Amino acid sequence: MSTETPRRTRFRLGSGQATRSRAVAGLTALLLPLAAMVGMASPAEAATSATATYLKKSDWGTGFEGQWTVKNTGTTSLSSWTIEWDFPSGTGVGSAWDATVTHTGNHWTAKNVGWNGTIAPGASVSFGFNGTGSGSGAATNCTLNGASCDGGPTVPGDNPPSAPGTPTASNITDNSAKLSWAAATDDKGIKNYDVLRDGAVVATVTGTTYTNTGLSAGTDYSYTVQARDTAGQTGPVSGAVKVHTTGTGGGDGGNQTGDKVNLGYFTDWGVYGRNYHVKNLDTSGSAAKITHINYAFGNVQGGKCTIGDSYADYDMAYTADKSVDGVADTWDQPLRGSFNQLRKLKAKYPHIKVLWSFGGWTWSGGFGQAAQNPAAFAESCYNLVEDPRWADVFDGIDIDWEYPNACGLTCDTSGPDALKKITSALRTKFGSNNLVTAAITADGSAGGKIDLADYAGAAQSLNWYNVMTYDFFGAWDAKGPTAPHSPLTSYSGIPQAGFNSADAIAKLKAQGVPASKLLLGIGFYGRGWTGVTQDAPGGTATGAAPGTYEAGIEDYKVLKNTCPTTGTIAGTAYAHCGTNWWSYDTPATIGSKMTWAKNQGLGGAFFWEFSGDTSNGELVSAMNNGLK
């Protein structure tokens, strides 16, 4: 038997599955904050083109090993680098390698050596040292080439520009709109402006007008503007103007992919009992048919994002036969585990974007504390997601809070605006070039979970919602009645009004969430009862049907053979075999659901999770074909 059971606990209304809650120790890098810095005669643009991160790799009490990593986040090569920082009294650098390190008192300076001064765009270099003293104090007051070590917009001695005026829109047609705005101000002059559509930069212009072409007819867009001064630092974003193009059509609402999203969850625990690895996405053919991957889950503890399973995430050594590129891991490589395999998958399929999902059913209890200080939460998440060891793997963050201002495994009382505060803080910290998304409830009942939080307000900061339109019904109600766990629509005899996809989507739209920011959820598994004599839904039962990993739940790849479907209801298939009764989606029902999602103008669809599919990815194929 698998050891998966502790990671799957009972849940309902689209939890996105549970995660094992055992604590796992792991090192994380500290992305240093902006500090008071001393000026150096070096290019001001370094403030927005590179970062320096410090990691204490080990500590033996009287000494420690430290490491600095410089990453070029710009578009041109760095020709040299100098890091300066302060250590507390009694802490210092002994022997160093791959850098020349000097100091004056507690102030330390490290310069590149001849061979590692040049850093190409997107590349990183590291140097290490053996430290003296306890090493308990953090490195502070960090500068990189005289600018902020966090790559932030501030240049020492130069104020950033002000926010431009909120744009106004004119000359709106089926596929274009003209934007105009009042100029920003700056003590040393404005260089240009970034024009952002739905949070993503679409143009950089020197004037205060811009005409955006190539839009979709009958589609909603949101525009803001951000100024850049002559030193290359950016100021705050302007207010937003909403634009609705003329004509008719669904459009994709400025979707990051330019097409419908087809997103799948990959679980860290799947590498154990399920023996399902990133390579399976390649061999099944699924990698070529998806647009995004949500890696589940990171934990939420003490109001911060933390590692979920360090061994599975970045330490597990892969043999050649299980590696995406057929190359085995070595004992001393800096990154292993699923993170490194995802890096290899992205190299083979450059169109795929990966988000790190935090929370889930088991680990949502930490969001209440996070909501008390959203900025600190966002800072911790950014530092973890952008850790230099795996920053290139992830394209953003997803939060799976079950549920804000409502009850899941635990009950939250943070208030209806808590989710909005958290998503706003995440967007501010992660910026417009990263994806920020959230998995949310699909409880469309009157006074249900959707009614208890400001999902429309939170959506303003998000690229999309993963609406968990599954797990509506299951064998937690041991005696039934039997019902499809993922009904697309309501039907006569449904056990609970509002527990279906159509009602949930309609309620979110009515609240003010744009259709283009809603993804329809599909479960790659079934839920079932035993002791059932009635074929049609609505029968009585004696308990949960047996499953491979947990009673009452089974993968599609198993059910399609062991209990083939005998009917459909509300857009979902069901099966009655012996005394067992199951409901699950098939390629045919998924095709119908994708057609419905497109007709609703949704941004696409997502699924939980890859390992439930067949070895040739027939459910992923059905989603891909249906979204075209």
Residues annotated as catalytic (active site), given as ranges: 402
Write the CB contacts of 394 (distance below 8 Å, at least 6 apart in sequence).
295, 354, 355, 356, 385, 386
SS3 216: coil
Type of residue found at 358: F
Write the CB contacts of 603 (distance below 8 Å, at least 6 apart in sequence).
252, 253, 255, 260, 261, 464, 515, 516, 517, 518, 519
Residue among 314, 318, 321, 324 at smallest CA distance from 268: 314
CB 426 within 8 A of CB 304: no
C-alpha 169/C-alpha 242 separation (Å) is 8
C-alpha 486/C-alpha 495 separation (Å) is 13
C-alpha 70/C-alpha 330 separation (Å) is 23
C-alpha 531/C-alpha 540 separation (Å) is 8
Rounded to 5 degrees, what angle do the CA atoms 105, 106, 111 make? 95
C-alpha 212/C-alpha 58 separation (Å) is 52
C-alpha 604/C-alpha 203 separation (Å) is 26
Helices (H) and strands (E) in the chain, counts: 12, 33
Between helices 587-599 and 618-627, what is the axis angle to 10°? 30
Quickly count: other Cβ atoms within 10 Å of residue 183's Cβ.
14
User: Token pair 């033996």 is at which residue?
Assistant: 60
Type of residue found at 394: F
Write the CB contacts of 552 (distance below 8 Å, at least 6 apart in sequence).
474, 475, 476, 527, 528, 529, 544, 545
Question: Does residue 403 have a cis bond before it (omega within 30 degrees)?
Answer: yes
CB 327 within 8 A of CB 268: no
Give the phi and the psi of residue 106 in degrees, each rounded to 5.
Answer: -95, 5
